[in-house]
Chains A and B, each alone.
Chain A
Amino acid sequence: KAGVTQTPRYLIKTRGQQVTLSCSPISGHRSVSWYQQTPGQGLQFLFEYFSETQRNKGNFPGRFSGRQFSNSRSEMNVSTLELGDSALYLCASSFAGGGYGYTFGSGTRLTVV
């Protein structure tokens, strides 16, 4: 069974630009969550989508947004990039969250220059 697929693996963007990251969950999983991983802050929760609805959101500015499509694929967008947005962005999918557990993708490494 295919795992969680994130594209692209690596991105280099310039300050002020915007970027869109993609995540394809495991077939049958309707919950998709996004995390930002940095050496200083560790793993921080961005938001979660379930059946095209955002159910939960972390403490990130409005420049960070996302959406989920009817096939459960999800995209994350960051507008007006800042140097501090450089991070590994991880997507996780789950059948229903909680004790079902979450399967992570390999991540997208975003570098803002």
Chain B
Amino acid sequence: GDSVTQMEGPVTLSEEAFLTINCTYTATGYPSLFWYVQYPGEGLQLLLKATKADDKGSNKGFEATYRKETTSFHLEKGSVQVSDSAVYFCALSASSNAGGTSYGKLTFGQGTILTVHP
């Protein structure tokens, strides 16, 4: 079945440091890929997405590129802020031709806790 693997956390950085959170996936066909962020006590917010190979998703200084050849979707940010401290989830939505088992379902990684210190 489909799966998503994220780098283990927690990740602790100083403000203005460079961030990379690795994400690899296993899925048939061409899934859509997402990064979600969760702040304490809240639901998940969509950070960025990519729907086909070589697409780059970007938002709020975060970027991730859909690499079909390495089945990866690594999240990067050039300069993190204290306000970026949260849990980050990589997720995939199976391609539509995967049939009924794909409807409405996101498969998530285990999440990576990011803490940024001033």
Contacts and interface: CB of A to CB of B under 8 A. Distances in A.
Interface residues of A, number: 29
Given A33-B105, A42-B111, A56 B100 contact: yes
Contacts of A55: 100, 103-104
Given A42-B108, A42-B110, A106-B43, A98 B101 contact: no
Contacts of B42: 106-107
Contacts, number: 76
Interface string B45-80: 110010100000000000000000000000000000
Given A56-B101, A94-B104, 16 more contacts: A31-B104, A33-B106, A43-B111, A55-B104, A56-B102, A58-B105, A90-B43, A92-B104, A92-B106, A97-B93, A97-B103, A98-B95, A99-B49, A101-B49, A104-B44, A106-B43
30 contacts: A4-B43, A32-B104, A33-B104, A42-B110, A43-B89, A43-B106, A43-B108, A45-B107, A47-B104, A48-B105, A50-B103, A56-B103, A56-B104, A92-B104, A94-B104, A97-B104, A98-B32, A98-B51, A98-B93, A99-B32, A101-B34, A101-B46, A102-B34, A102-B46, A104-B36, A104-B44, A105-B43, A106-B42, A107-B42, A107-B43
